[in-house]
Amino acid sequence: MKLSLLPAAAVLAFCTAPAFAALPVGAAAPEFATQASLAGKAMPFDLKAALKKGPVVLYFYPAAFTSGCTIEAHDFAEATDDFKKLGATVIGMSADPIDVLNKFSTTECRNKFAVGSASAQVIADYDVKLASTARSNRTSYVIAPDGKVIFSYSAMDPAGHVTGTMDAVKQWKASHKG
């Protein structure tokens, strides 16, 4: 009798894969206000105020100055002008303290968009806690001005976050012309 290892391998892969949870599309985005940094200068960031201007691209990343987070910051920096043309605000969030974010905002975010300090409560509210740490996983959201999540994507690989959020903002913009 020949036993297939495929079911066992599938279970093993599922059990060892990182578990990502995120707010689903259609969920109300939790409101928050935090200290952020833009171009090396600390500033307040309030989600509710930002949504009055248009959609918000809110992306969580584990830690400033790590390889994947640096790649993702560069990608968002390159796309920020295009997001702005569509009326969207970009903000990155991590559990890093503001002094670290001041440096990260100038070097890796290239003075293009704000990065904010995510409290444990914000990380919990957005359901992006990286297992057994105080850090967040890599999750990107697009939040419409009505406060609803219109795009949610979790993957530790930074590839796909900018293109996914850009596509969501473009679709939102196309359906809200007038």
Burial of residue 16 (number of CB atoms within 10 Å: 0-12, 13-18, 19+): exposed
Token pair of 94 as six digits: 């991590």
Nearest to 42 by CA among 98, 95, 94, 104: 98
d(CA 12, CA 21): 19
Active site residues: 69
Q: Which amino acid is residue 107, in one-letter code? A: T
Sign of the torsion formed by the C-alpha atoms of 94, 162, 149 and 87: positive
Edge to edge, the sheet with strand 56-60 lists 41-46, 33-38, 114-117, 89-94, 56-60, 139-143, 149-154
d(CA 38, CA 55): 19
